[in-house]
Chain A
Amino acid sequence: MTLNFSINRSVAVLWHQSKNEQFKSTITMKQFITYLVLLFTTVAIAQTTVNGKVTNTSGEPVFGANVYLDGTYDGATTDEQGNFSFTTEETGQQTLIVSFLSYETKSITNEVTTFTDVQIKLREDVSVLDAVVISAGTFEANDNSKVSVLKPLDVVTTASALGDFVGALQTLPGTSTVAEDGRLFVRGGDAAETQIFIDGIRVFTPYSPTPNNMPTRGRYSPFLFDGITFSTGGYSAEYGQALSSVLLLNTIDEPDQEKTDISIMTVGGGLGHTEKWNNSSLSVNASYINLAPYIALFPDRNDWEKPYRGAQGEAVFRQKFDSGLLKFYAAFDTSNLELNQEDINYEEGIDFKLKNNNFYTNASYSGVLNNNWSIKTGLSYTVANTDVGIIDSDIDNKEHSAHFKLKLKKRFSSRFKLSFGAEQFLTDFNETYTDESISASYGFNDNISAVFAETDIVFSKKLALKAGLRGDYYNTTKRFDVAPRASFAYKTSKNGQVSLAYGNFFQTVSGDYLKFDNDLKTQNTQHYILNYQHVSDGRLFRAEAYRKAYDNLVLFDTDMASFDSDYTNEGSGYAQGLDVFWRDNKSLKNIDYWLSYSYLDTERQYLNYPEKAQPSFANTHNFSAVVKYWVDDWKSQLGLSYSYASGRPYTNPNRNGFLNETTKSYNSLSFNWAYLLSQQKILYFSVNNVLGFNNINGFQYSNTANANGNFNRQAILPAADQFFFVGFFWTISDDGKDNQLDNL
């Protein structure tokens, strides 16, 4: 929406001649004489002429630079030849300052009389927009970044995402399409290899739990965040405990205005309110989701006893100080469901019950200290309770986790920055398993202390380096890991640049196995990344080739992980491939689109794998296209997103081998329509898988062979092929302007 606004070009620069200063009457004769003397002395001092020439590092004159004596009004602007000249009455030691947009400001302190014929060379400011940026592995979604792949709004206006920030990231290259799971699978890594951070502080339970074969969603509402960084490899030493990827979410620093948001949807409703004070603000929102009416209208393949019901509440409080910002974030959600799912081995299906309560709180402070030091610190605490019932067995667990982090950064200049910090992760997990014959309790205590340091060196507008080192100490196993990381970027042309990254990454074994064997070593990957990026007005192209080597992966000797399995760290694997991304909002009017393609070649031996194989969550080819079309006449945004993924491996026990066959490819086209009824009312409609492709996520085989000696199978199908969503969103604010388009 373009709103015209313009101020008169020839700004009325009005002023009046200053009035005669009428100070004479207030000054005594004696003072007047003193004043005259002072005046005389000033006049008597010979004026000094300051002159010289300003050029850039390649010797070309700089036109329009500001040259002046610090703290005085004496100065001049350089002419077309870079020359300047002015006179001053100042004497003694003076500081000559030379400044110009997109150059580093230069200052010279010396006797004022020496400032004649001064030759000044200005260096280009390396923090300007067209300077090189380290981009290997990283996708940014914000407005402030120099190279932003997504905009914050994209997260919520991508047709297939249905308001889930994770769903939007799945349209980026480097991710695999695992439709029945919903989490992020990055570059041949499983979902546990991606860690999520809010304001730099770890989120321990980012996803809502779901029954088997039903995709999950991120727990947190996307409109709380205004910056998202998604790294598919080679990330900073600040982030540990992630083998494949990190997702960094930053909450909004200051909400725009006071408002109340109301949403009514086919699956529930929500209410939000933002209140602002002078230096602080509070946003709260609550939502209730109940799938019962939807499932009654459009029954899916599950036999629901209690369709999904969930309630969620979130609050963010922000307090501004003179030199810092404190944010306090808390979220609570509860979900409850019960259903019967088809299973080839159980004629009557499997009864599944789930109750989950999750509370997450995070407090963070970022501030500026003296001498170009800045500080970031924060603390998070999670408590999660999950009660699962499968047929006759009950599995109840409770997790308490905390993360504390402190980071200091010193900016020596725009060319050299140093940061370092320390952090502590604590997890206490306990689970009890009960059925008719057994009752067992087990758990783990994870206690990790880590330190990290990193330096950013910008050699010129063309060449930059980031190098870091991280050490993690595991208090339970008394082991210590050291992880070096480095990345470098070189600008090859006005719009193009090449980046290289290397890193060593460690992560403790997932709680799913650690709870059975507390002495497992940490898993390890090494990333090698080569990235090319070309950014021109409204268009962005990037291609990235990578190789990942996995080591110390967990391996066990039974079909299913249980407390009587034998665990080792002898697993290993690799992943390599090519990710390509293209985004263009310039070529076609009112159309913004992006295309992603990923090629992945991966094999690993881990968990119960008898040999190295391509894991069932890895697709060789992934393609997605997202299109957004703004129809001005209809006040509407129409969106389409298409994704294609080649088949995923599964094991057919009727043939020799492990993960020996692949499913057919996956296709889905989603459509959405956001219609602005008025400034504050939006009607939203979306359909996932409009064309009704019959996707198959895999196959389940019978445990026992039939009369012919074959194992029967059943396709694992999505609970529903299509999903419809209609919502009405209404914002009430003082000025009557804001709407929730960015909440969708």
Chain B
Amino acid sequence: MKHLIIIATLMVSGIIHSQTNFEKGMQKAFSLWEANKWDEAENMFERIANAESDQWLPHYYIAQMNSLKSWSEKDANVLKAQLDKAQEHLNTAMSISKDNPELLVMQAHVLTNWVAFDGMTYGMKYSGKISELYSKALKIAPDNPRVVSGKAEWDMGSAKYFGQDTAPFCKDLERALELFANFKPESPFHPNWGKERVEQTVAACKE
């Protein structure tokens, strides 16, 4: 009986310990990121990802960081390596958390970066896939603001290109703004970004 208690105690404290570790780690990573220490933040996420094999969030943020970094990268080889790294971590995240709308949106972003990098090569290849990802995400989470706005912006891009009416997408974006206002992330570390961008686009819609 005594042993059992000790074991139980160890287990309880173990769980508490690891939860706090995860939260502490994530907090540290975010504060580094906020302080614009990207390398250090990314490395912290990597350490967390490595230590916590059942957490998709650190992988998600590594993917997002690499996806964002690729925007300002001039060296094509580095840029491809960054997008490949983002993809690698997304693959791991998606194997941990299946049919996760946030991951589907991030996957769409990574592919969009390939298209932006070399439209001639990747435009045709990934356009259909990106649309499919947004459609799938929308089926799973029709009220996720990042899903709604991501899909609307993507569709708006194509509509503009073909000279079609973009008004319905502006409407979707306005709806996304409302969704942003009411969005409650599952935990402090779950994705909760994207509102400002949509505000800008909606403002542009009204011009």
Which of A6-14, A115-123, A429-437 touches B?
A6-14
* List of B residues within 8 angstroms of A102 by Cβ: 78, 81
Would you call B112 and A5 a contact (CB within 8 A)? yes
| A35 and B48 contacting across the interface, CB-CB below 8 Å | no
Closest 3 pairs between A and B when the two form their complex, measured CB to CB: A256-B128, A3-B157, A8-B197
Within 8 A of B (CB), among A7-49: 7-18, 21, 23, 27, 30-31, 34-35, 38
A-B contact pairs, 5 of them (CB 8 A): A3-B157, A30-B5, A66-B47, A735-B155, A737-B155
- Does A73 count as interface, using CB distance less than 8 angstroms? yes
| 13 other A-B residue contacts (CB within 8 Å) besides A15-B30, A66-B47 | A1-B123, A2-B115, A3-B115, A13-B33, A14-B193, A15-B27, A15-B192, A68-B47, A97-B50, A102-B78, A130-B77, A257-B131, A259-B128
Contact B127 A3 (CB under 8 A): yes
Residue numbers in A under 8 Å from B51 (CB-CB): 71-73
Contacts of B76 in A (CB 8 A): 537
- Separation in Å of the A24 CB from the closest CB of chain B? 11
A742 to B5 CA separation, bound complex (whole angstroms): 66
Q: Roughly how many angstroms separate A737 CA and B125 CA in the complex, as a whole number?
A: 12
| Cβ of B76 to closest chain A Cβ, rounded Å | 6
Partner of B68, one of A7, A99, A101, A630: A7
Task: Please provide the chain B residues from 176 to 207 with a CB less than 8 Å away from any CB of chain A in the complex.
Answer: 188-189, 192-197, 200
- Closest Cβ of chain A to B125, distance in Å, is 6
A213 to B198 Cα, complex, angstroms = 62
Q: Which residues of A sit under 8 angstroms from B158, Cβ to Cβ?
A: 3, 679, 737
Question: Do A1 and B127 touch across chains, with their CB atoms under 8 A apart?
Answer: yes
- Known A-B contacts A34-B6, A73-B51; the reply to A257 vs B135 at CB < 8 A is yes
| Contact for A12 among B9, B121, B155, B193, CB less than 8 A | B193
- B97 contact set on A, CB distance < 8 A: none
> Which residues does chain A contribute within 8 Å of B20, judged by CB atoms?
21
Within the assembled complex, what's the spacing in Å between the Cα atoms of A512 and B128? 45
Residues of B within 8 A of A23 (CB): 16
Q: How far is the CA of A30 from the CA of B24 in the complex (A)?
A: 27
Of the candidates A64, A128, A153, A737, the one whose C-beta lies within 8 Å of that of B128 is A737
Cβ contact within 8 Å between B194 and A7: yes
A70 interfacial by beta-carbon distance below 8 Å: yes
Total chain A interface residues with beta-carbon distance under 8 A: 66
Asked if residues A12 and B13 are in contact (CB atoms below 8 Å), the reply is no
Give Cα A733–Cα B194 distance, bound, in whole angstroms. 28
User: Does A492 sit at the interface, judged by CB under 8 A?
Assistant: no
Would you give the shortest CB distance from B101 to chain A, in whole angstroms? 16
Whether B131 contacts A738 by the Cβ 8 Å rule is yes
User: Given A21-B16, A23-B16, A635-B162, A8 and B125 touching (CB < 8 A)?
Assistant: no
Q: Restricting to B70-90, which residues have a CB under 8 Å from any CB of A?
A: 71, 76-78, 80-82, 85
The 0/1 profile, CB within 8 Å of B marked 1, for residues 69-101 of chain A is: 011111111000000000000000000010101
Given known A3-B115, A101-B85, A734-B135, contact A18–B64 (CB-CB < 8 A):
no
Contacts A5-B116, A73-B25 given: A151-B121 contact, CB under 8 Å?
yes
Among B50, B124, B135, B161, the residue within 8 A (CB) of A70 is: B50
B119 contacts the other chain (Cβ, under 8 Å)? yes
Query: Any chain B CB within 8 A of the CB of A413?
Result: no
C-alpha gap A737/B76 in the complex (Å): 28
With known contacts A66-B47, A678-B162, A143–B120 Cβ distance under 8 A: no
B195, A128: Cβ atoms under 8 Å? no
Interface mask (A621-641 → B, CB under 8 Å = 1, otherwise 0): 000000000100001000000
Are A128 and B125 in contact, with the CB atoms below 8 A?
no
Contact between B30 and A129 (Cβ–Cβ < 8 Å)? no
B129 within 8 A of A: yes
B124 & A153 in contact (Cβ 8 Å cutoff)? yes
Residue of B nearest to A742 (CB): B124
Q: In this assembly, does B23 line the interface, its C-beta being within 8 Å of a C-beta of chain A?
A: yes
Chain B residue with the shortest CB-CB distance to A23: B16
The residue in chain B whose Cβ has the minimal distance to the Cβ of A144 is B84
B131 with A735: CB separation less than 8 A: yes
User: Of all chain A residues, which has the CB nearest B159?
Assistant: A679
Q: Which residue of A lies closest to B146 (CB)?
A: A7
- A243 near B: Cβ within 8 Å? no
Binding site for B on A (CB under 8 A): 1-18, 21, 23, 27, 30-31, 34-35, 38, 64, 66, 68, 70-77, 97, 99, 101-102, 128-130, 143, 151-153, 256-257, 259, 537, 585, 592, 630, 635, 676, 678-679, 733-735, 737-738, 741-742
Question: How far is B49's CA from A70's CA once the two chains are assembled, in angstroms?
Answer: 11
Q: A13-B33, A101-B85, A585-B120 are in contact. Are A3 and B193 (CB under 8 A)?
A: no
Q: Are B197 and A735 in contact (CB under 8 A)?
A: no
A3 touches B154 (CB 8 A): yes
Expressed in whole angstroms, the Cα–Cα distance for A42 and B195 within the complex equals 43
Pair B128/A257 contact, Cβ less than 8 Å: yes
Q: Which residues 1-51 in B have Cβ within 8 Å of A in the complex?
A: 5-6, 8-10, 12-13, 16, 19-21, 23-27, 30, 33-34, 39-40, 42-44, 46-48, 50-51
Residue of A nearest to B189 (CB): A15
Write the nearest CB–CB distance from A203 to chain B, whole angstroms: 25
Residues of chain B within 8 A of A14, CB atoms compared: 192-193
Q: B43 to chain A: which residues have CB within 8 Å? A: 64, 66, 68, 75-77
Determine the chain A residues whose CB is within 8 A of the CB of B122 once the complex forms.
143
The minimal Cβ–Cβ distance linking B14 to chain A, given in whole angstroms, is: 9
A18 to B23, CA, bound (A): 8
Residue contact B47 to A73, C-beta cutoff 8 Å: yes
What residues of B have a CB within 8 angstroms of the CB of A10 in the complex?
196
A101 contacts which of B30, B81, B116 (Cβ < 8 Å)? B81
Distance in Å: Cβ of A289 to nearest Cβ of chain B? 25
**Chain A CB within 8 A of B153 CB:** yes
A213–B122 CA distance with the chains assembled, in angstroms: 39
Query: B68 near A2 (CB under 8 angstroms)?
Result: no
B87 CB → nearest A CB, Å: 11
Residues in A with CB closer than 8 Å to B9 are 31, 34-35
Whether A2 and B119, one on each chain, are in contact in the complex, defined by CB atoms closer than 8 angstroms, is yes
**Is the CB of B54 closer than 8 A to any CB of chain A?**
no
Query: Taking CB as reference atom, which chain B residue is nearest A130?
Result: B77
**Given known A1-B123, A72-B47, A128-B77, contact A31–B162 (CB-CB < 8 A):** no
CB distance from B149 to the nearest CB of A (A): 10
Q: Which of B115-160 contact A (CB under 8 A)?
A: 115-116, 119-125, 127-129, 131-132, 134-135, 153-155, 157-158
Q: Taking the nearest CB of chain B, how far is it from the CB of A484, in angstroms?
A: 34
Q: Min CB distance, A584 to chain B, in Å?
A: 12
Is B109 in the interface zone, CB < 8 Å from A? yes
Please tell me if the beta carbons of B119 and A257 are within 8 angstroms of each other in the complex: no
A79 to B: closest C-beta gap in Å: 10
A2 to B128, CA, bound (A): 13
Chain B residue numbers with a CB within 8 Å of A70 are: 50
Asked whether, in the complex, the Cβ of B120 is within 8 Å of the Cβ of A11, the reply is: no
